[in-house]
Structure 1
Amino acid sequence: MPQRYGGRVALVTGAASGIGRATVLRLLEEGARVAGLDTAPVDTDGELDGELDGVLGVRCDIRDEEAVRAAVDRVAAWGGRLDLVANVAGVASYAHTADVTLAEWDRILAVNLTGTFLVCRAALPHLVAARGAIVNVASLAGVRGWRYSAAYSAAKGGVVALTRSLAVEFAPSGVRVACVCPGSVDTPLKAGLQPVPDPDPRLLEHGRALVDPPVADPAEVAAAIAYLGSAEARFATGAVLRIDGGSGV
């Protein structure tokens, strides 16, 4: 395992499960001290809510501006610096667009897009000081049409656009910003999605991966996040990396 993060401090949102948890574990293996933000306890080796074995677990709802600001400042004080932010937290749902309520639209955008923005904004002064990096988790749904996912696609498309905008704005400050766009990943989020009633059969195979099995392991996405956040990815600022098994080809 490469040791690209020795002496570095990383913050990972959505750290309690799925891609977020896999990212915490990957960064720990590569030598980082890691702070995990989530509304649930961060679990790496038993229940964790507080500091243990190089990990700081912080309860935080990333939709809450003041909570985000306090959490990021706590992480920077704990680590003495902040080198990487991985914005992984997200929510999703499937629905016929005509059935999407305004409350559901607002929920999806608040977590996936506004929450990502709030964490980036709070972290950027610390990242400028460290000449660090941001890696946002968008989605294949943010770069191509996706069935029954109007709100989620709009939010993740916004994450892609936010990533590119920040990459341009903060390049002179030495901060790199990139994002990954996973396709189907074996996570609790995916397992919890309810199918839409009466789907159009023509859309059921839309976006299926070309590789077998057609679903990624969270560790595969975490490996890409670790690369994009490292010094090895110096020339990849603004990158939008699809990890989709060829389904977007």
Structure 2
Amino acid sequence: MNGRYEGRVALVTGAASGLGRATARRLAAEGARVACLDLLADDADLGPAGLAIAVDVRDEAGIAEAVDRAVDWGGGIDLVVTAAGVASFGHTTDVALAEWDRLLAVNLTGTFLTARAALPHLSARRGALVTVASLAGVRGYRYSAAYSAAKGGVVALTRALAVEYALTGVRVTCVCPGSIDTALTRNLTPVPGADPRLLAHGRALVDPPVSQPEEIAAAVAYLGSPEARFATGAVLRMDGGAGV
């Protein structure tokens, strides 16, 4: 690992597991001090290089307080990664309104609340914001009306913020993974009566067809680093060719 994050402070949501955890570890390995936000703060602990904060990204006041704590701890913030997310899939006619609301609240509203609280601090240090969307947010995806709507919203939010904050020096980018080998994806409930033709749609072209969280974390670390100076408003698909 190089030291491109030496002296920098990062904040990662969803840092207790999956991509968030892999990203927090990658940034710490490259020299960053990392504020790790998650409902399960104990699982997000990175030791001396980190600050674990228990918070629900849907909690407006809680997120604002968590960001302030991270700023007080680190002296500022150079990078924010919004990796907190939830998923479920099913026939649109079977999706309860409560489940629709949950997916939008965590994936989209949580991203917005985190970004809104952090952007003044990122502006002060000409930092970077990397959001996490999904392949489902940039193309049609099977049995995913609620999830696709939420992640598509994250993509649109990313582009809007990239324009709005360009003159402050803040870069805003988005990574859109395909399938990742995480507990979240392994524990998804199969869709009853799913059509095999739709399940075959959009499979990755590479072998193995599922990525590891560390592979996506490497892309996040690049997008948040000074090496990606010329990238803002960019949406990077990491889907193994599934979206081609």
Identity, % of aligned positions: 70
Which residue is 1:24 aligned to?
24
TM-score by length of 2: 0.98
Note the alpha carbon deviations across 1:28-53, whole angstroms, 9 max, x for none.
Answer: 01100001100012536xxx3xx832
Q: How far does residue 2 in structure 1 lie from its aligned partner after superposition?
A: 1.7
Give the equivalent residue in structure 2 for 1:149. 144
Residue 177 in structure 1 maps to residue 172 in structure 2: yes
Structure 2 counterparts to residues 6-45 of structure 1, below 5 A: 6-43=6-43
Deviation string, structure 1 residues 120-174 (Cα, Å, up to 9, x no partner) = 0000110000100000000000000011110000000000000000000000000
In the TM superposition, 1:56-135 aligns within 5 A as: 56-135=51-130
Distance, in Å, in 1 between the alignment partners of 2:151 and 2:48 is 33
Q: 1:230 and 2:243 equivalent? A: no
Task: Give the distance between the partners of 1:81 and 1:27, measured in 2 at CA.
Answer: 16
Corresponding residue SS for 1:164: helix
Deviation at residue 227 of structure 1 after TM alignment:
0.3
Q: 1:85 to 1:42 in 2, by over 3 A?
A: farther
Hey, which bits of structure 1, 4+ residues long, moved more than 3 A?
none
**Contact residue 15 and residue 42 of structure 1 kept, 8 A:** no
| Paired AA for residue 91 in structure 1 | V
Q: Report the Cα distance in structure 2 between the residues aligned to 1:64 and 1:13, rounded to whole angstroms.
A: 13
Q: Equivalents in 1 of 2:47, 2:26: separation in Å?
A: 16
Q: How far apart are residue 27 of structure 1 and its match?
A: 0.2
CA distance in 2, matches of 1:114, 1:89: 11
Residue 208 of structure 2 corresponds to: 213
Question: Take 1:42 and 1:92, find their aligned partners in 2: how far apart are those partners?
Answer: 22
Letter in 1 for 2:152: G
How many Å apart are 1:202 and its aligned residue?
1.1
Q: When the two structures are aligned, how many residues end up with a matched partner?
A: 244
Which ranges in structure 1 are unaligned for 5 or more consecutive residues? Answer: none
Task: Give the secondary-structure state (helix, strand or coil) at the position aligned to 1:53.
Answer: helix
Q: Which amino acid aligns with 2:145?
A: A
CA distance in 1, matches of 2:160, 2:130: 13
CA distance in 2 between counterparts of 1:113 and 1:132 reads: 21
Q: After superposition, what is the alpha-carbon deviation per residue over 1:181-226, rounded to whole angstroms, capped at 9, x for unaligned?
A: 0000001110111011011121111111000000000000000000
8 Å CA contact 1:36, 1:42 repeated in 2: no
Let me know the Cα RMSD of the aligned residues. Answer: 0.9
Normalised TM-score (structure 1): 0.96
Q: How far, CA to CA, are the matches of 2:50 and 2:29 in structure 1?
A: 12
Other-structure match for 1:168: 163
Question: Where do 1:178-193 residues align within 5 Å?
Answer: 178-193=173-188
5+ residue gaps, structure 2: none
Report the CA distance shift for 1:83/1:42 in structure 2 as closer, same or farther (over 3 A): farther
